[in-house]
A = this chain, B = another copy of it.
Amino acid sequence: MSAQVIAIDAMGGDFGPRSIVQASLACLSATPSLYLTLVGHPLLLEELIASQPGADRSRLQIVAASEVIGMDERPSQALRGKPDSSMRVALELLRDGKVQACVSAGNTGALMALSRHVLKTLPGIDRPAMVAAIPTQAGTCQLLDLGANVDCSADNLFQFAVMGSVAAQALGVVRPRVALLNVGTEDIKGNQQVKLAASLLQGAKGLNYIGFIEGDGLYRGEADVVVCDGFVGNILLKSSEGLATMISARIEALFRHTLMSRAVGALALPLLKRLQADLAPARHNGASFLGLQGIVVKSHGAAGVQGFQSAISRALAEIQENLPQRLHGRLEELLL
């Protein structure tokens, strides 16, 4: 297997550089073909690496960046005001072919704006979308957009559908069923963008468009790809995460209630915790930006060490799948 080189925006995220450095070192230990380039304040990063016992520096490089983009900074400010931010420098390494993917836990809006500016989108794509696999009764479903685009036109939704379908195919789904998330399944339901996107998708050749899907149908596993605007996708994802947490808490309380159930609770809780983790994919697995000329994976801001490791693994998988090239090929057939 050939080597993979990934640039890490080492300064972003709610937990900051410490957990990112820790996750990076863990990934290097686990994957002998992996090379990482940490981007950020060199002194700080050196110090954090030195503090990790037994850190292997041989496949780890540091590239200096003097600025950091805050979690609540405006994307426009990140774009214009900070030419030497860790996020931007990491993306420039990707653009210049020095790495094959970029991973960041930083400000989503800034990552979106900078990715578009530095890497550009694939031909036929106006705006990249954020996608992650969410669990359903039948397996998983690729949900997009998850928050990169709060306002979407019908054209955007159409392009998301095409990208989601290609991504699902790359992940092994033979004829991905693509659906538009809506408030009902009848033709008359929904807002203008959704209705117009439906008519675009009905006319698209080579796409297995199955129509509208509702929120419950998504979790029943009625589609392999579910398309919505980033406002709706973000609310769906985060409320699902919150609901799963609430249910876990209630079940824990239930099992603490009686002595007998406490014994079984000990048995069931690890499984419930795993379920909960499954239900928070963006936090635990990272989400991809689709539609860019390059692989960019966004780790959840509050992901912690394990979450960031998963995001690096996802970037690795996309390098091996050669996802942007595959997308490019299919988009040419479908869109141009």
User: Which residues of A are in contact with B by a Cβ distance under 8 Å?
Assistant: 71-72, 74, 109, 135-137, 147, 150-151, 181, 183, 186, 188-192, 214-220, 228, 230-232, 234-247, 249-251, 254-255, 260-261, 264, 267-268, 271-272, 275, 279
Contacts and interface: CB of A to CB of B under 8 A. Distances in A.
Contacts of A250: 275
Instruction: Determine the main DSSP class of A at the interface with B.
Output: helix
A147 B268 contact: no
A230 B136 contact: no
A279 B243 contact: yes
Which A-B residue pairs are the 9 nearest by beta carbons? A215-B239, A215-B238, A219-B242, A216-B242, A264-B264, A72-B186, A183-B234, A150-B191, A216-B238
Contact of A251 (B109, B147, B228, B251): B251
Given A228-B235, A232-B235, A254 B241 contact: no
Contacts of A264: 260-261, 264, 267-268
B136 A246 contact: yes
Number of copies of this chain in the oligomer?
Answer: 2
Instruction: From A137, A183, A254, name the one whose CB has the most chain B CB atoms within 10 angstroms.
Output: A183
30 contacts: A72-B186, A109-B188, A135-B246, A150-B189, A183-B230, A183-B234, A190-B231, A214-B235, A215-B238, A215-B240, A216-B238, A218-B239, A219-B245, A220-B246, A228-B235, A232-B232, A232-B235, A235-B235, A236-B239, A243-B243, A247-B247, A247-B279, A251-B268, A254-B268, A254-B271, A255-B268, A260-B264, A261-B268, A264-B264, A264-B267
Contact of A243 (B192, B244, B249): B244
A316 B232 CA distance: 34
A235 B233 CA distance: 9
A250 B239 CA distance: 19
Contacts of A272: 251
Given A191-B231, A219-B246, A240-B243, 15 more contacts: A72-B188, A137-B245, A214-B235, A214-B238, A215-B237, A216-B238, A216-B239, A216-B242, A217-B242, A218-B242, A235-B236, A254-B268, A260-B267, A261-B267, A264-B264
